[in-house]
Structure 1
Amino acid sequence: MSGFLSSTATLLGRTILSPVAPHSLFAVNVEYYKPASSSPTTSSSRTSPSIETLLSATETLDPAKNPTFKPTPWLSTGHLQTIYSAVGNFAHIDAVEFKRRVFVVPDGGTIGLDISPPTLAASEEDLKAQGHEAGDGLPTVVCLHGLTGGSHESYVRNCFAHLTAPVSAGGLGYRAIVVNFRGCASVPVTSPQLYSALKLADIRSALLLITKLYPNSPLVGIGFSLGANILGRYLGEEGDSTPLLGGVIVGTPFDLKSGADELDYGGFLSHKYSTAMGSNLQRMARAHKNTLALHPSFRSLLDDLYDPAPQPRAEVELYKAQARNYGPRKGERTVIKNFTLKHADQVMTRFVGGLPKPYGEFPFDSADDYYRYGGCANVIEGVRRPMLCLSAQDDPIVPSKMWDRIRAAIGRNPDGSRKQEEGEYNENVVLAWTKAGGHLGWFEGVRPRRWLHRPTSEFIKAVFEQTSSEEKARVAGRSRWVADQVDVREVDVELTPAEALPEYTLPGENGRSSRYSDSPKKHEKKQLDGKDSPGRVAELDRELQSDAPGAEDSLLNPSDTGFAANAPPSSTGEVNDGEHKTLRLPWLLTHVLKEAPLIHPRHASYAPYNEPTSTNEEERKKLGWEKITLKMYTDKERPEVGFCELGPETRVAGAGETFRGGIDTPGGSMAPSADNKGKKNVIAGL
């Protein structure tokens, strides 16, 4: 019997054949620190609601209510739950509409905010002017997506569908905002940077804009996977200065070094996941190679990412030995296998994952140094707001070994038992976990539906409702705007047609030869058939358990990595040959950060940059080139934190568009039509 059938039969025996299933098998386990009454840190000194108070206001997390999570019988392991997350057809499940706002940050990067419901995307001031009753004080949830994700993700929409649905329809009636990081979900890369577990300037910039748009709105954050690490690290670094009343982090890689070691040395399937995530990062860099290549030193990084030197047989054998020993022996050099997650981070992320000093921590000496520094567990003691950490014990990407440092921070031993001795523990953090669920899965019922929205929305609702008006006022009073900690200046931004960006040719493509004649072939991504039946999941499980080349591509569903680069635009897309109608790219011309480089297509030395010869502004604008002057707001203490917002007229990344999450491509109506084959859509996202 295959592993899939065996595990399914085991679970069926527990759920159907057994008269009473053991409670611990399905229990939602909750761990947090409750100080003794004699502790100097007592509840009387708290300003936020206690974890105990918040849990008692939930159905799925309150230990007194014996909450449970029972996984779908045919998705009985974390591996199967994770596969289903990749191959399930969620396009018409948890329908959510968004309206997009786009802004440029001080280093020249571009960020997208997708706001739901669209009727609440206008600023509070504009909503008041429209007579909208939700103009003031409406709760807002701010979301950070996972690796190379965005607002289209099925797990994001699962939570948003309940958070934003009207109360009359059984929802909470909140506003919710996805922060789409640079390079994700049709947001272009316009600076020599991607994003990473340590890219906190972008979430700080997003919150600066959000608090300007909605100054009277209480805020709570939620993050998933890599976005969960970013949110956890932000809350730890920011402490009591954050405008967020609390946070929820889901499937969090608390300890990046421990997680990377598990992916490298945790066994055959772990290596498959490492290869799949490395491919995600590779595809992201590939989608934005033309911008990254504008920075001369990054061209060699791109070449090494796609065309690395073949590894000698002895080195491959050494890697296999290290995998068997769960890492290098003492004094032995670490071998990084090509095309894995660590390979992508070693070659690319440690250089392009964030700002250079003094504005950030990059570059790092190695991927391992980046991992050691970047995990949110390093700063968990600094969290000063209620924070729920939701994880699954069988998560194949974020194993439970990574919980040790979180448990230590809340007075728990590695096995979850309470520490006997008192100490400096953080009473603001709660770890809730289930035995099953996989990575961002948590499917229940014979016809799988996500359980995820229940604990997250219940905890978020409790934070909003249990936080006193005095505490909300205190947090609002610490706003950078209220405290007069924001500078404003005028900056120049040049808008150019997306298709005008010079194209960088990678080794082995378009006539450029590979640097290594025996370089391994890159596997094309497998096209999934859209079926998500038990049989289809079992088939993919067998492929992944085999050593078939490229089997891990089944984990790279387009819904989890954005939109295909050549996907047709929406039915409204059309191009008028006499006027530019496609998406544009914003290039910051004013040097705001003196020690961080700005880039522009004119810097391209790998291909010609052809722009109109005419200096007539109207003629250039008709062809897509235009210079505009905007107000940029920056944090007085952190000059790298700031924004200048781009309006719909700029035609950047779908600014101002309303679209259906997971179905429409933001900016699709601005893209070239399917029959206009002479043009290419270079900003289709990931």
Structure 2
Amino acid sequence: MASNTKRDSTTLIEQLIRSPSKYQKEFGSHLKQAFQTHHLQIYGSVVCLFLILMAHGGIINRVHYFEPRNPIKFVGNDGKNSFTLKELIGKKIPTLRDQAMCLLNPFLFTGDLQTMYAGVRTFHSRDQLYFGRQILRMRDGGSAALDQVISSEKFRSAKPESCDIPEGQKKLYLGKSTRYFTKKELLEQDGQQSKRPIVLALHGLSGSSAEPYCRCLMNPLFNKEHFDCFVLNARGCGGVDITTPSLFCALWTEDVRETVKVLRQRYPGRPIFAVGFSMGSIILTNYLAQEGDKSGIDFAVTLACIWDLRASSNRLESHFLSGNLYSPRMTKNLLELIANQKDELSLSREFKKSYSKENIRKMDRLSHFDDSFTSKMFGFRCADEYYCYASPIIRMNNIRTPLLNINSEDDPVAGGFDVGALPVKRASFNPYITMITTTHGGHLGWFKPNNVRWYTEPVSQLMAELYREVYNCSAGTIQVDKHSLPADIPISEGKLVMKTFKS
């Protein structure tokens, strides 16, 4: 009986393919009869599948808030009222409260799916921003690009042909949404008397100001909260031609240091906020720890921070999907970057020694790249040694800037509690550091059902509230119990000195 039914169904499907108009009514009646006969089983299966996804996947995202044991207090503009960051969030930003929940995209129900979606989507039509670029020449002769968000009218007010190409740069056209500032525009910036707050963003590995995870936050900060928004493009990234045989690494903070000085000199008296994404968050936290209470930054946010590079690297390359997808993809991006800058980088003895067709061909892991290039070019003997010294976790005690860190517990790149990559307990001893973890979100994903990133609204709102409540006049200060401060940890290497190893 069962075999006859199967044969009849197969014959019907074949007939439907050959002549759909003739048999579509008959096929529809069979389908309707099947639903009527087995509707309880079908609906029950759908409900069970949904419950399984809810229980084991990332449909419902939950926030976990880890407040320091004796948190700093912000003193309001009136000089009288004081409050902790948790109190401000509880009053103004419900999305970031402990145990707050939100619905994520049901089709992206794992950290891997969230991460992969973040990697393949460019979101060109969303969060469209325009940038004016200034090339910053650093003390060692290196070049980085400081991109500032500008209005579309200002962007179109000067054609690329009228913009002078800075020394050491070869590209006139930087894309449809980025152009160089003219000399006149740069002079006008120095004379600005605006009181608008400033936010400086640091992008992820081999990224730029064009990254969707960056634009989605700059958009509301610029258009809604009226911040002046800047993105520091690392050496060799975002179309920047390098001018010394050196790139960047997680411990190289000199470019951030000099950029903050430029902003402080150009816009005196204005509050400066900072936000780091992935690799940018490592550099930012290392910078804050190195500078202590002289960072020049009033408030910082790090997203998908990789606190322990050794633990995260082991997690990244030991799992099947991340080891065969994310790590090779990131390595390929870096190999393309150094290929574009090969002529200048070849002036480095260490680079020239490692850059060979045979070595490049078999390089399919991020640790392999760091072993051959990053570590050697910055004076380390191997990737493991570089990871040890560059991990922000070893200098968390030294941070003296209010810092909010947000990580996803299912982040396949940074790692979660399972590999000890989220140091929430250690952070609790530093009154300046607040840690937030979310149950789901992947690596810089956090996509909601409408594919808008979850962190965009609460982080921009938080920065705006801090500016309105604390930093929009000189009366805003911070109170801290000095007896609760952890002892500074002496870091033997101090600030990293660029070693170009010229041949």
Give the alignment's TM-score, normalised by structure 1: 0.54
Report the structure, 1 or 2, having the larger helix content. 2
**Is 1:108 matched with 2:141?**
yes
Match of 2:406 in 1: 390
- From 354, 372, 375, the counterpart of 1:347: 372
**Is 1:62 matched with 2:97?**
yes
CA 1:271/1:597 → structure 2, altered by over 3 Å: closer, same or farther?
A: closer
What's the RMSD between the two structures over aligned residues?
Answer: 3.6
The whole-number CA distance in structure 2 between the counterparts of 1:341 and 1:438 is 19
Match of 1:258 in 2: 311
- From 432, 443, 451, the counterpart of 1:439: 443
Match of 1:145 in 2: 203
Displacement of 1:51 in angstroms is: 2.5
Displacement of 1:206 in angstroms is: 1.0
Give deviations 1:78-113, integer Å, cap 9, x for gaps. Answer: 111111112224111111111111121111110101
The 5 Å alignment of 1:534-545 reads: none
Displacement of 1:117 in angstroms is: 2.3
The 5 Å alignment of 1:130-209 reads: 135-165=193-223, 171-209=224-262
Give deviations 1:477-518, integer Å, cap 9, x for gaps. Answer: xxxxxxxxxxxxxxxxxxxxxxxxxxxxxxxxxxxxxxxxxx
Given residue 432 of structure 2, which amino acid in structure 1 is its aligned partner? N
Paired residues of 1:113 and 1:180 also in contact (CA < 8 A): yes
Match of 2:424 in 1: 407
The whole-number CA distance in structure 1 between the counterparts of 2:89 and 2:234 is 31
CA 1:381/1:145 → structure 2, altered by over 3 Å: closer, same or farther?
A: same
Match of 1:277 in 2: 330
The whole-number CA distance in structure 1 between the counterparts of 2:336 and 2:424 is 35
Paired residues of 2:311 and 2:421 also in contact (CA < 8 A): no
Paired residues of 2:133 and 2:145 also in contact (CA < 8 A): yes
Match of 2:23 in 1: none
Name the SS of the counterpart of 1:29 in structure 2. Answer: strand
Name the SS of the counterpart of 1:191 in structure 2. Answer: coil
The whole-number CA distance in structure 1 between the counterparts of 2:470 and 2:75 is 14
Give deviations 1:546-593, integer Å, cap 9, x for gaps. Answer: xxxxxxxxxxxxxxxxxxxxxxxxxxxxxxxxxxxxxxxxxxxxxxxx
Give deviations 1:448-479, integer Å, cap 9, x for gaps. Answer: 2222212221222233233253465899xxxx
Given residue 86 of structure 2, which amino acid in structure 1 is its aligned partner? E
The 5 Å alignment of 1:274-423 reads: 274-303=327-356, 306-308=357-359, 338-352=363-377, 362-401=378-417, 406-411=423-428
Match of 1:449 in 2: 452
Displacement of 1:155 in angstroms is: 0.6
CA 1:250/1:97 → structure 2, altered by over 3 Å: closer, same or farther?
A: same
Paired residues of 2:415 and 2:421 also in contact (CA < 8 A): no
CA 1:470/1:212 → structure 2, altered by over 3 Å: closer, same or farther?
A: closer
The whole-number CA distance in structure 2 between the counterparts of 1:150 and 1:128 is 25
Displacement of 1:17 in angstroms is: 9.4
Name the SS of the counterpart of 2:196 in structure 1. Answer: coil
The whole-number CA distance in structure 2 between the counterparts of 1:10 and 1:230 is 45
Paired residues of 2:350 and 2:376 also in contact (CA < 8 A): no
Paired residues of 1:229 and 1:376 also in contact (CA < 8 A): yes
Match of 2:188 in 1: 126
CA 1:174/1:12 → structure 2, altered by over 3 Å: closer, same or farther?
A: farther
Match of 1:426 in 2: 430
CA 1:218/1:273 → structure 2, altered by over 3 Å: closer, same or farther?
A: same
Given residue 464 of structure 1, which amino acid in structure 2 is its aligned partner? Y
- Structure 2: unaligned runs, 5 residues or longer: 1-44, 156-180, 480-496
Higher Cα Rg: structure 1 or 2? 2
Identity in percent: 26
CA 1:471/1:217 → structure 2, altered by over 3 Å: closer, same or farther?
A: same
The whole-number CA distance in structure 2 between the counterparts of 1:178 and 1:441 is 20
Give deviations 1:580-636, integer Å, cap 9, x for gaps. Answer: xxxxxxxxxxxxxx996697xxx9xxxxxxxxxxxxxxxxxxxxxxxxxxxxxxxxx
The whole-number CA distance in structure 1 between the counterparts of 2:310 and 2:85 is 29
Paired residues of 1:69 and 1:434 also in contact (CA < 8 A): no
Given residue 147 of structure 1, which amino acid in structure 2 is its aligned partner? L
The whole-number CA distance in structure 1 between the counterparts of 2:364 and 2:388 is 21
Displacement of 1:339 in angstroms is: 2.0
CA 1:206/1:123 → structure 2, altered by over 3 Å: closer, same or farther?
A: farther
The whole-number CA distance in structure 2 between the counterparts of 1:455 and 1:105 is 34
Given residue 144 of structure 2, which amino acid in structure 1 is its aligned partner? I
